Amino acid sequence: MTEAEEMSRPPAGETPPGESRPDDETRAEHRESVPADERDALVTIAHGAVVTSGGLSLQRVLATATEFVLARALGPVVYGVYALAWRLAQLLFRFVNFGTVQTLQRYVPAYEDDHGRRARVAGLAYLTTAAVGAGLAVALVATADRLNALTVAHPLFPPAMAAVGAVVALTGIVRTHASLLRAVGSARGEVTFTRVLLPAVRLATALLAVGLGYSVVGVMGALAVGTALLVAIGAPAVVSATGIRPTVRGARSELRAFYNHATPVALSSIGKVFQNRVDILLVGALLTATATGVYGVVLVYVSLAWIPLLAFNMLLPPVATELYAEDRVDTLDRVYTSITRLILTAVVPILAVQTVFGRELLGLFGPTYTAGYLPLVVYLAGVLAGSAVGATGWLLVMTDHQYIRMALDWLLAAGNVALTYLFISAFGLVGAALGTGLAIALQNGLQVLVLRHYEGLFAFDATFLKPLAAGVAMAGAMWLTRAAVGGLASLAAGVPVGVAVYLGTLVALGVTAQDRLVARTLAARYRRSLGAVLP
């Protein structure tokens, strides 16, 4: 049984439908204002977000620990080489699956009653990822010297690229494992692979390599070996969990539909890379290795701010696909509005903390890295713009507008490369964040307009102003605390004060029925789950 199905069933001890208990009366008042189909969709997506946010938070902790260890052990210059190599790997992670991640989400749920088609779609996904991964690995080795000459010009960079190529190819297979689990409704399975095991392997191999005295090449080589072990262990586990045994026998009948969906998504990913991944390449090419290292730490904190959007996007695609296929567009629109407001509500306090205490947070990596404060703040503005519109990209793909998204991605990619180049030349490190932030805001703004024009989906209303107002109040409270206390102690004191002010302001301004429903339903469910485990 999938997690979505589990969420729709009354848990153990819950009163069956048709019966009532005294403590059900308050819940019923809120449920009456939210239609049943909307309620089920909201609870399913929110549950997936809770599971995913836990995994994402652990992933960010592990990633931050990895960056901390390497920044301290390698020093600013060599760490800058590593940061560029890792950023290249992250850039290629977006392309190595060649659109198969989204295609699995589109067709595996649709073929629920046809196990043969599911197996063939999964087989095509693995075959495509393996072929593209091998090609990228070869390309990295062939272009390593040229890339080195154009960027950091360091002797360790070319030999590290061979290991980076292996890491990219193997990570693509692990991501296919995770995507197949996600497609059958298992948020826990996807989170385990991509949010827990991959970053855990990265941290463990980094500690091992540093402990043995290796530099960038050794760190990347150890990561390649660890990822290969994860591929081997994961394959039988995924088959057992999903009941899908990938095959390419008879897959010719699926080729047209599969690649009609995967190809524009893959090409869209290339455009997306040039929108928000070209920054580190241009920093490496136009500035110094030290600046590349500083910007790499900035991106560590930026990744924390993306957690709410990524978390709510975990189970939104299959839910959106189902609603759209059943022509329940009005319900999809209401769900889109509520989920987007929840994303905004969750991301605002993260942005407030990083804006107020950004220098203290960057200083944890060393005094050199505090130079990234202004780029961090500028980049966070782009995160706010991207999070405030919700899952526009996923909704375009799930409603069969993947070609429009591809065109938008490529159009804005060209503009982003030009703007980021000009901004870095004019403003230095902050220019990289400015160019990427503008690209994120413009891309998502256009996608909002496309969704409204073609599908009538539009998320925004006056309720979106409430978390923004609460965020301003939170930031003000933390600024005052920082001024009064100072140093790292202000971070420890200011965050609890800020969170209390944020929640209090939200309650004072009023919480919507949908948000109350999600919070109370999930809280009650998790209390019961804990009660079943704890004495």
Tens digits of residue pLDDT in 8-55: 444 333 444 444 443 444 444 444 477 877 888 888 788 778 888 788
What local confidence, expressed as pLDDT, does residue 18 receive? 41
> d(Cα 84, Cα 457) in Å, to the nearest integer?
39
Q: Judge contact between 187 and 314, C-beta under 8 A.
A: yes
DSSP letters, 283-345, are HHHHS-HHHHHHHHHHHHHHHHHTHHHHHHTTTHHHHHHHHHHTT-HHHHHHHHHHHHHHHHH
> d(Cα 437, Cα 449) in Å, to the nearest integer?
19
Q: Which of 3-12, 192-201, 273-282, 370-379 has the lowest mean pLDDT?
A: 3-12
> d(Cα 245, Cα 278) in Å, to the nearest integer?
37
Spell out the alpha helix ranges (H) of 428-486: 429-455, 465-485
User: Helices 373-388 and 429-455, interaxial angle, to 10°?
Assistant: 0
What local confidence, expressed as pLDDT, does residue 398 receive? 77
Q: At residue 269, does pLDDT exceed 90?
A: no
Residue with structure tokens 């998320």? 459
What local confidence, expressed as pLDDT, does residue 235 receive? 94
Q: Which of 282-296, 332-346, 417-431, 474-488 has the lowest mean pLDDT?
A: 282-296
Whole-structure pTM over 0.85, yes or no?
no
CA distances from 522 to 4, 48, 333, 529 (A): 13, 11, 22, 10
What local confidence, expressed as pLDDT, does residue 281 receive? 77
What local confidence, expressed as pLDDT, does residue 413 receive? 81
Q: At residue 252, does pLDDT exceed 60?
A: yes
Which tens digit of pLDDT belongs to each residue from 337-393? 888 999 999 999 999 999 999 999 999 888 888 999 999 999 999 999 989 988 888
Residue percentage of the chain with pLDDT more than 90: 35
Q: Judge contact between 387 and 407, C-beta under 8 A.
A: no
What local confidence, expressed as pLDDT, does residue 528 receive? 76
* Residue 60's pLDDT band (cuts 50, 70, 90): confident
Q: At residue 533, does pLDDT exceed 90?
A: no
Q: Which of 58-67, 150-159, 270-279, 336-345 has the lowest mean pLDDT?
A: 270-279
| CA pseudo-torsion sign 175, 180, 183, 185 | negative
What local confidence, expressed as pLDDT, does residue 470 receive? 95
Instruction: Supply the mean pLDDT for the chain.
Output: 85
What local confidence, expressed as pLDDT, does residue 10 receive? 40
Q: Which of 281-285, 356-360, 368-372, 464-468 has the lowest mean pLDDT?
A: 281-285
528 CB-contact burial (10 Å; exposed 0-12 / middle 13-18 / buried 19+): middle
| Higher pLDDT among residues 233 and 534, named by residue | 233
> d(Cα 180, Cα 111) in Å, to the nearest integer?
13
* Residue 276's pLDDT band (cuts 50, 70, 90): low
Closest CA to 219 of 87, 91, 86, 93: 86
Q: At residue 201, does pLDDT exceed 90?
A: yes
Mean pLDDT of the 427-449 span: 88
Closest CA to 309 of 423, 390, 392: 390
Mean pLDDT of the 323-330 span: 81
485 CB-contact burial (10 Å; exposed 0-12 / middle 13-18 / buried 19+): middle
* Residue 83's pLDDT band (cuts 50, 70, 90): confident
> d(Cα 211, Cα 208) in Å, to the nearest integer?
5
Q: Judge contact between 60 and 303, C-beta under 8 A.
A: yes
What local confidence, expressed as pLDDT, does residue 113 receive? 82
| List of residues 6+ apart from 383 with CB closer than 8 A | 302, 305, 306, 347, 351, 437, 440
> d(Cα 183, Cα 176) in Å, to the nearest integer?
10
Residue with structure tokens 């994402």? 56
| List of residues 6+ apart from 275 with CB closer than 8 A | 409, 412, 413, 416, 436, 439, 440, 443
Q: At residue 165, does pLDDT exceed 90?
A: yes
Which tens digit of pLDDT belongs to each residue from 405-430? 888 888 878 878 888 889 998 888 89
Residue with structure tokens 């503008």? 438
Look at phi and psi of residue 478 and say left if phi exceeds 0, alpha if psi is from -120 to 50, else beta. alpha
Look at phi and psi of residue 400 and say left if phi exceeds 0, alpha if psi is from -120 to 50, else beta. left
How many CA atoms within 13 Å lie on the side-chain side of 453? Answer: 8
Mean pLDDT of the 460-478 span: 93
The listed range with the strongest mean pLDDT (230-234, 292-296, 396-400) is 230-234
Spell out the alpha helix ranges (H) of 112-197: 115-150, 157-183, 187-190
> Residue 226 corresponds to which tokens in the numbers above?
């660890």
| Higher pLDDT among residues 298 and 75, named by residue | 298
DSSP 512: -
